[in-house]
Amino acid sequence: MEEMLDDIRRLVECESPSADQGAVTRSADVVSSVGRGRLGTDPDRVVVNGCTHLRWRFGDKPARVLVLGHHDTVWPLGTLDRIPYGVRDGVLRGPGCFDMKTGLVQAFHAIAALGPLEGSADGVTLLITGDEEVGSPTSRALIEREATGCVASLVLEASGPGGALKIGRKGVSTYQIKIVGRAAHAGLEPASGINAAVALAQLIQDVLALASPEHGTTVTPTLARAGTTTNTIPAEGSLAVDARMWDAGEQQRVDHAIRALTPSLLGATLTVEGGPNRPPLQAGSSGDLTSLALQVAAETGITQLSTMSVGGASDGNFTAGVGVPTLDGLGAVGDGAHAAHEHVLVNHIVPRTTLLAALLRRLLQGAG
């Protein structure tokens, strides 16, 4: 436990906001160092458009199990000054501790427990990416490539409430919609303008109408902008949209509907950028893997393990999207992802690591 806590501290105290490539590179150096100390080997550094991803491959045979995580966080530089790393009364705190640096340490120690130097981890690939929190723009192809052909993908994202495994995640589509009208003086000749703000207001209603509560589909306007000065008819407006759904058919329906939107004002024009970012991770797609995890959990002394589906997405959506059975939420038990009360319950760290190691053993034995 003391070794694991020291490793977690090292990762948490190296801040790694996704948008700061320098910080992500420094974090990759620390993650590499911690991983080398536990696994006995350096990772491959895969740099795509300046973003650093880390990959450990064990053995010469084709990969059979992908262990997946990320080292970037949502927290800006300087957050440690306000929320320092610390452990008190069995609760570990610090930016990124729950999402998901504790999970990375669990992965290192679980794989090390297999004895990678003796070949017991042959067939395992550990991939730690650096841009998950911003949609994995540079790592998606790498994730899908490493997952293809595997019998399982185990994702070390934080668990659900009470330590629940995540067996389903909504797909995500994101859009930027731009409306162009025509500027005019708001007092002298307002009628000669085409008010992009008015068109934007109607567009928001049109977007909201695309949701489907009966299917669990949400289509949410999230960021709207229009206008330049208080006495000018707005010539441009923009709207960001976040759409989430449980199945691919709904994702396609929403995509077609958004691309078919038209502005409500004559003379205004509308353009759409973006589209589906992550496919849904459907709960039924990994039934055998889930059953195995619950069985292994009982064998290792975890008797209250539950499963759930959640609206948030992860890189596990990508591995499921290429047809690989995927089990998510194997990481830390705690609460507060992306929030000031982010924390990890220390007494769950070792049992979760033991569960991961035992699950890896069973999967590798079955693959053999």
Residues 139 and 165 in one domain: yes
Same domain, 78 and 107: yes
Phi-psi region of 364 (alpha: psi -120 to 50; beta: other; left: phi over 0): alpha
User: Domain check: are 147 and 204 in the same one?
Assistant: no
pLDDT tens digits for range 304-346: 899 999 999 999 999 999 999 999 999 999 999 999 999 999 9
According to DSSP, the residues that pair with 232 across neighbouring strands are: 185
More confidently predicted of 128 and 60: 128
Quick: pLDDT tens for 182-205: 999 999 999 999 999 999 999 999
Quote the CA–CA distance of 251 and 255 in Å, as a whole number: 6
Residues 353 and 238 in one domain: no
302 and 225 co-located in one domain: no
Tell whether 110 and 7 lie within a shared domain. Answer: yes
Q: Which of the two residues, 367 and 88, has the higher pLDDT score?
A: 88
Q: Which of 263, 278, 293 is the last residue of a domain?
A: 278
Instruction: Say which residues have a Cβ less than 8 Å from residue 355's Cβ, sequence separation at least 6.
Output: 293, 296, 297, 300, 302, 330
Give me the catalytic one of 132, 146, 328, 342: 132
Give me the domain span that covers residue 190. Answer: 171-278
Tell me: do 239 and 284 sit in the same domain: no
Reported as a pLDDT band with limits 50, 70 and 90, residue 120 is confident
What residue spans of the chain are helical by DSSP H? 2-12, 21-39, 79-82, 102-114, 140-147, 196-208, 248-259, 287-299, 316-321, 349-367
Report the alpha-carbon distance of residue 48 to residue 312 in Å, rounded: 25
Pairing of strands 165-169, 218-226: unpaired
Least confident of 44-48, 58-62, 136-140, 339-343: 58-62
Please check whether residues 271 and 323 belong to one and the same domain. no
132 is a catalytic site residue: yes
Q: Are 16 and 127 part of one and the same domain?
A: yes
Q: Residue 346's domain is classified under what CATH number?
A: 3.40.630.10
- Catalytic residue flag (residue 72): yes
Examine the fold and report which residue of 258, 278, 298 is the final residue of a domain before the chain moves on: 278
Q: Which helix (H) or strand (E) holds 75?
A: none
Residues 228 and 347 in one domain: no
Token pair in block for residue 125: 């690939």
Least Cα distance to 146 among 132, 121, 125, 131 occurs for 125
Q: What CATH code is carried by the domain that includes residue 228?
A: 3.30.70.360
Domain boundary among 228, 243, 278: 278
229: buried, middle or exposed (CB in 10 Å: 19+, 13-18, 0-12)? exposed
Considering the domain architecture, whether residues 127 and 154 belong to the same structural domain is answered as: yes
- Mean pLDDT on 77-100: 97
**Same domain for 135 and 93?**
yes
Of 72, 99, 146, 328, catalytic: 72
Is the pLDDT reported for residue 368 higher than 60?
A: no
> Alpha-carbon dihedral of residues 208, 211, 213, 214, nearest 10 degrees?
150
Mind listing the pLDDT tens digit for each residue in 201-223? 999 999 999 999 999 999 999 99
User: Residue 63 is encoded by which pair of tokens?
Assistant: 């990969």
Number of domains in the chain: 2
Q: pTM higher than 0.85, yes or no?
A: yes
Dihedral (CA of 326, 332, 335, 340) sign: negative
